[in-house]
Chain A
Amino acid sequence: MLALDLTAYWAVTVLKVAVVLALIPAGALILGYVFLLKMMSFMQSRLGPMEAGPGGVLQLVADGVKFLQKEDIFPDRADRRVFALAPVVVLMSTFLLYLVIPAGPRLVVQDLDTGVIFALAVSSISVIGVLMAGWASANKYALIGALRAAGQLIAYELPLVLAVVGVAMQAGTFSLQGIVKAQANGEIFGFGAIGNPFLFTQFIGFILFIVSAQAELSQTPFDMPVAESELVAGFMTEYTGFRFLFFFMGEFGTAFALAAIGATLFLGGWYLPGVHGGLADVVGPLVLGAKIMLVAFLIFWVRFSYPRLREDQLQALAWKFLIPLSLVNILATGVLKVVVK
């Protein structure tokens, strides 16, 4: 009598939530281990963590367990409720990002018609969490870090959105699933064997997207909000234990999600030439995973290679270079869309 109907609305919803809940820490762990621990170490001619598990793969799991055991500390003069709520807001924004990312023809939590705009909208919620964290900590370094983060995220959200507009114009839809299909069915001068990844036609958009994503994620050279040589740890200064773990998972979970959105917008998402139908649902996640690692590699390669910008250089880059360039990109896309059809 108690047969489990897995197609019932509640069962599907529970399954989807469980998958996303598992995906965020998994994505954060993969990026953290492969890039933060290993790639940075190899670039600096050292081995990185080697003790926990083979090649140190369990290092971040061990760190996570360590964070969970720590005391839950509130600063004496902090605004306790806002202080406690801030990491939750940041993680909620990360969680919602995964709602629209497709990993196969049917593997998507919800294929919203507004897809990519929804992703940008919910990713902007994390700024509020950062501001809450910095203000509630009652610490001048935390507050300065939060203000820097807000100024930076406002400035770089514009080129990010405008870079996406070019892609949406070419695909004719905001839906990420629709954008994947537009690339899969596209042709390059009549040659359709590999579809038409928008990397080629929207190359400027791709550069704009990667640079803005780098800044949105506060990765070096845009890491002024958490500049350790100036601000201790910026808005995260007063956070310890599992609350710090929330911020860490938020940071790397968002990096994973933004890399996935970049891979979907510009590299064709889950689409692999020649794979169709039910097989695409099996191969899709692997293809998307490989493309995510490619985009994330670019982001972390730059992170480990360049020194930090100055605050005025950061703002000048966004307002005087990236935003005008993205507007020109939209204009060119519009003209070409009408002329070339």
Chain B
Amino acid sequence: MLTAAASTDLNTVEYVVFGVIAASMAIAAIRVVTAKNIVHAALYLVVVLAGVAALYVMLAAEFIAVVQVLVYIGAIVVLLLFGTMLTRAPIGTTSDLDNEQRGVSLVVSLFLLGVLGWTLTKAFGWSHMPETPVQRTADVGNSIFQSFVIPFEVVSILLLAALVGAVVIARRD
């Protein structure tokens, strides 16, 4: 058993940690859509997003993991909770959180699963990932501002446009 585990690139501890993270993410993701309370659903979403950050840590992408927490948990979920609590978020269960689009969403989800699964197996096959050292933040900065500076600037312009659009929609005078 031990030799079998040692012969692969991943070791047993990594398998166990990945299993725990993946299982809790899957359970929380199911609870996001089945929860009968909108705030509970948002809080389960926090668990899912924290699981993504944990997976980034396992992939030795420290900076991305920290930004994931800062942006998704610290800002987006907070805005989500803020918005629901400001408008309507009753305590207890409500029955009007579901709509009649289960069939459509099933098709979309299966399509997404197929596309992502096909792309990943096509790109990587079943080969083991090489042992990667922890990614230095300076390396991330260097690759963004040297190799990928044009995509980066395009994304900035897109975000700026979205920002201006939000301001225009918000102030109708």
List residues of chain A with CB under 8 Å of any chain B CB: 77-79, 82, 112-114, 117-118, 120-122, 124-125, 127-128, 131-132, 134-136, 138, 143, 146-147, 150-151, 153-154, 157, 173-174
Beta-carbon contact of B78 and A121 below 8 Å: no
Beta-carbon contact of B91 and A114 below 8 Å: no
A77 to B92, CA, bound (A): 9
A160 to B74, CA, bound (A): 14
Beta-carbon contact of A128 and B81 below 8 Å: yes
Secondary structure at the A interface, as helix, strand, loop or mixed, is helix
CB interface residues, B 121-140, toward A, < 8 Å: 134, 136-138
Minimum distance in angstroms from A167 CB to a CB of chain B: 14
> Which size class do B's interface residues fall under?
20 to 34
Q: How many A-B Cβ pairs are below 8 Å?
A: 82
Among B21-29, B38-46, B96-104, B145-153, which stretch is in contact with chain A? B38-46
A77 to B136, CA, bound (A): 49
13 contacts between A and B (CB under 8 A): A78-B91, A79-B37, A79-B39, A113-B62, A114-B66, A120-B70, A121-B70, A124-B69, A132-B43, A134-B85, A138-B91, A146-B85, A173-B137
Beta-carbon contact of A128 and B78 below 8 Å: yes
* A-B interface, 6 closest residue pairs, ranked by CB to CB distance from nearest: A124-B74, A121-B70, A121-B69, A114-B66, A150-B82, A131-B81
Q: Which residues of A contact B40 (CB under 8 A)?
A: 82
Known contacts A112-B62, A128-B78, A146-B85, A117 near B73 by CB under 8 Å: no
Q: Which residues of A contact B33 (CB under 8 A)?
A: none
Beta-carbon contact of B81 and A117 below 8 Å: no
Beta-carbon contact of B62 and A124 below 8 Å: no
Q: Which residues of B contact A125 (CB under 8 A)?
A: 69, 73-74
Secondary structure at the B interface, as helix, strand, loop or mixed, is helix
List residues of chain B with CB under 8 Å of any chain A CB: 37, 39-40, 43, 46, 62-63, 66-67, 69-70, 73-75, 77-79, 81-82, 85-86, 89, 91-92, 134, 136-138
Taking CB as reference atom, which chain B residue is nearest A118?
B66
Q: Which residues of A contact B138 (CB under 8 A)?
A: 173
Q: Which residues of A contact B66 (CB under 8 A)?
A: 114, 117-118, 121
A237 to B120, CA, bound (A): 50
Beta-carbon contact of B85 and A127 below 8 Å: no
- Counting chain B CB atoms within 10 Å of each CB, the highest count among A121, A124, A153 belongs to A121
Beta-carbon contact of B63 and A113 below 8 Å: yes
Q: Which residues of B contact A77 (CB under 8 A)?
A: 91
Taking CB as reference atom, which chain A residue is nearest B86?
A147
Beta-carbon contact of B39 and A135 below 8 Å: yes
Q: Which residues of B contact A120 (CB under 8 A)?
A: 70
A154 to B82, CA, bound (A): 10
Beta-carbon contact of B86 and A82 below 8 Å: no
Beta-carbon contact of A150 and B78 below 8 Å: yes
Q: Which residues of A contact B134 (CB under 8 A)?
A: 113
Q: Which residues of A contact B92 (CB under 8 A)?
A: 79
Please give 9 more A-B residue pairs, beta carbons under 8 A apart, in addition to A120-B70, A124-B69, A134-B85.
Answer: A82-B40, A113-B134, A113-B136, A121-B69, A124-B74, A131-B78, A138-B91, A154-B75, A154-B79
A134 to B86, CA, bound (A): 12
Beta-carbon contact of A128 and B137 below 8 Å: no
A136 to B40, CA, bound (A): 10
Q: Which residues of B contact A134 (CB under 8 A)?
A: 85
Taking CB as reference atom, which chain A residue is nearest B65?
A114
Taking CB as reference atom, which chain A residue is nearest B84?
A135
Taking CB as reference atom, which chain B residue is nearest A77?
B91
A150 to B66, CA, bound (A): 20
A143 to B136, CA, bound (A): 41
Minimum distance in angstroms from B156 CB to a CB of chain A: 14
Minimum distance in angstroms from B135 CB to a CB of chain A: 8
Beta-carbon contact of B81 and A124 below 8 Å: no
A82 to B91, CA, bound (A): 10
Q: Which residues of B contact A143 (CB under 8 A)?
A: 85
Taking CB as reference atom, which chain B residue is nearest A83?
B91
Beta-carbon contact of A114 and B69 below 8 Å: no
Known contacts A113-B136, A113-B137, A121-B69, A82 near B43 by CB under 8 Å: yes
Beta-carbon contact of B82 and A135 below 8 Å: no
- Counting chain A CB atoms within 10 Å of each CB, the highest count among B37, B73, B75, B91 belongs to B91
Beta-carbon contact of B43 and A150 below 8 Å: no
Known contacts A136-B91, A138-B91, A157 near B74 by CB under 8 Å: yes
